[in-house]
Amino acid sequence: MSTAESGRARRWLILAGVAGALAVLAAFPLAVTDPAATSIAVFTLVFMVSTAAWNIFSGYSGYLALGHAVFFGSGGYAVALAARDWHFKGGWDVFALLPFGGLVAAAIAVPIGVIALRTRRHTFVVVTIAIFFIFQLAAFNLSFTGGTSGIELPIAPFPVATYNNPFYYVGLVILVMTIAMSWAVRRSRFGLQLLAIRDDEARARGLGVKTGRIKLAAFVLSAFPIGMVGGLYFYFLGQIFPQFAYDPLFDISLALMAFLGGIGTLVGPVLGAAVLEALQQYLTQSVSGSGTYLIVYGVLFLAVILLLPRGVVPTLTELVKSRRARAADSSTIEEPRDQAVRSVAGAIR
């Protein structure tokens, strides 16, 4: 088989895979009508979107951000406050507010990014945590957030039996949008510049990448979908409280899910989120005692990190590659880690 032919076959395979996955996801609430299962599915979608969006910044740039709950909570509050103050009735109209939640989150991301991105890698992690705590504290203590009693969102008049489905499908649309965005970034010159920053920031800058602007753009871009699903999540719950809106576990979960699936890959973080969030929900329901739950979760987590240190998707890809190489009886040459830097250099020349 010639390379061009195998490339075309591969493209068709991927296309078929995407179509199949979409069909399965779209049919899920029709096949599984148990509300407990579909509500887990809604939560899982929220995390799939959030992790995919987080990956656009942290995965591609290599800057570990542990404060994206700020965008989740702020998007949620934006939608809740707007729905209350503009007298939304509840129903499909509130979904129209979700892009507004995303915009608010993105707007908040601009000053945060400007400040936090002055620092490099390790320090950046902690600065994002610090900013996260500032927001959490503000949400607890400012008057317009309703403090600990929170804000109620309008009740959606959906039929009880299929109440979860509208939330599910809106979540699915946002997921498709986010993955498409991630794919577009990954393929673009912008994405290459991000990867170059990840591989060697000093060199990327030397080659003419406007590192500051690129990082900020990715940071803001990653905030938008998270703000949207923040609104979706709290509309689904019917209420928003500071401790759920700005939850440190949300921050760390995104990183964990992305690492599990394969950080910096397109589908890895989404798969990681799907597996982990579903597992987490299942554990909460089936394991009695919060202590046991924590132990089981932590031990599983450690096992995965130690057995698959690079995440599921990269490990599997490597496995497939090495098998194919063996089948073709020719060794594949490892892609050099700084290939992105070279491509950028090529693009600039």
Partner 1 sequence: MSFTSLLQAVIDGILTGGVYALMAAGLTLIFGVMNIINIAQGVMVVLGAYLSYALSVHLGIGLLPGLLLTVPAMFVLGVAIEFVFMRRLRESDRTGMSILVTFAVAIVIEGILTEIFGVDYVQLHAAYVDKSVYVFGFYLPYIYLIGFGLAVVLLIALYWLLYRTKFGRAVRASLQNRTAADLIGINVDRTRTISVGIGVAVTAVGGMVFGATNAFNPGSGYDLISRLLAIVILGGMGSIGGAMAAAVFMLVINDVVAVAWSPTWAPLVFFAALVIVLSFRPQGLFGSAAARAQ
Q: Does 110 interact with partner 1 (rule: CB under 8 A)?
A: no
| Among 188, 159, 192, residue whose Cα is nearest residue 61 | 192
Q: For residues 4 and 8, what is the distance between their CA atoms, to the nearest angstrom?
A: 6
Contact region with partner 1 (CB under 8 A), list: 120-128, 173-181, 182-190, 232-240 = 120-128
Asked if 243 is part of the footprint of partner 1 (rule: CB under 8 A), the reply reads no
Smallest distance, Å, CB 249 to partner 1? 9
φ, ψ at 152 (rounded to 5°): -90, 145
Is 11 a binding residue for partner 1 by CB under 8 A? The answer is no
Binding mask 245-284 for partner 1 (x = CB under 8 A): ---x---x--xx--x-------------------------
CA torsion 105-250-186-275 (nearest 10°) is -140
Judged by beta carbon, residue 173 or residue 305, the one nearer partner 1 is: 305
Name the nearest CA neighbour of 56 among 263, 287, 293, 240: 263
Q: How many residues does the chain have?
A: 349
Neighbouring C-beta atoms of residue 249, cutoff 10 Å: 11
The Cα-based distances of 347 to 192, 193, 335, 339 in angstroms read 10, 10, 18, 12
How many whole angstroms from its chain centre is CA 304?
19
Q: Three-class SS of residue 93? A: helix
Instruction: Indicate whether 158 belongs to the interface with partner 1 (CB under 8 A).
Output: no
What lies within 8 Å, CB to CB, of 122 at 6+ separation is none
Contact present, 257 and 273 (Cβ < 8 Å): yes
Query: Stretches 72-80, 118-126, 155-163, 167-175: which one binds partner 1 (CB under 8 A)?
Result: 118-126
Residue in 84, 103, 301, 308 binding partner 1, rule: CB under 8 A: 301
Q: Are 219 and 172 in contact (CB under 8 A)?
A: no
Q: Which is nearer to partner 1, 76 or 272 (CB)?
A: 272
By CB under 8 A, is residue 297 in contact with partner 1?
Answer: yes
- Residue 9's identity, in one-letter code, is A
With beta carbons less than 8 A apart as the criterion, state whether 77 and 145 touch: yes
Size of the site for partner 1 (CB under 8 A): 41
Q: Minimum distance between the CB of residue 63 and partner 1, rounded to whole angstroms?
A: 10
Binding segment for partner 1 among 86-94, 98-106, 275-283, 291-299 (CB under 8 A)?
291-299
User: Under a CB-based contact definition with an 8 Å cutoff, are residues 124 and 116 in contact?
Assistant: yes
* Residue among 33 and 141 whose Cβ is closer to partner 1: 141
Is residue 315 near partner 1 by the rule CB under 8 A?
no
**How far, in Å, CA of 105 to CA of 223, rounded?**
6
Q: Which two tokens stand for residue 35?
A: 């509300």
User: What's the min distance (Å) between Cβ of 54 and partner 1?
Assistant: 13
User: Of residues 55-94, which lie at the interface with partner 1 (CB under 8 A)?
Assistant: 64, 66
Using the rule CB under 8 A, which residue among 298, 321, 325, 339 binds partner 1? 298
| Choice between 39 and 315, CB closer to partner 1 | 315
Candidates 48-56, 125-133, 183-191, 203-211: pick the segment binding partner 1 (CB under 8 A): 125-133
In the complex, the smallest distance separating the C-beta of residue 271 from partner 1, rounded to whole angstroms, is 17
- Residue from 306, 327, 328, 333 touching partner 1 (CB under 8 A): that is 306
**DSSP letters along 220-273, please?**
HHHHHHHHHHHHHHHHHHSEE-HHHHT-HHHHHHHHHHHHHH-TTSSSHHHHHH
- Residue closer to partner 1, measured from CB, 126 or 320: 126
Binding to partner 1 (CB under 8 A) within 131-150 occurs at 131, 133-134, 137-138, 141
Note the residues at the interface with partner 1 (CB under 8 A). Answer: 64, 66, 115, 118-123, 125-127, 129-131, 133-134, 137-138, 141, 248, 252, 255-256, 259, 289-299, 301-302, 305-306, 309
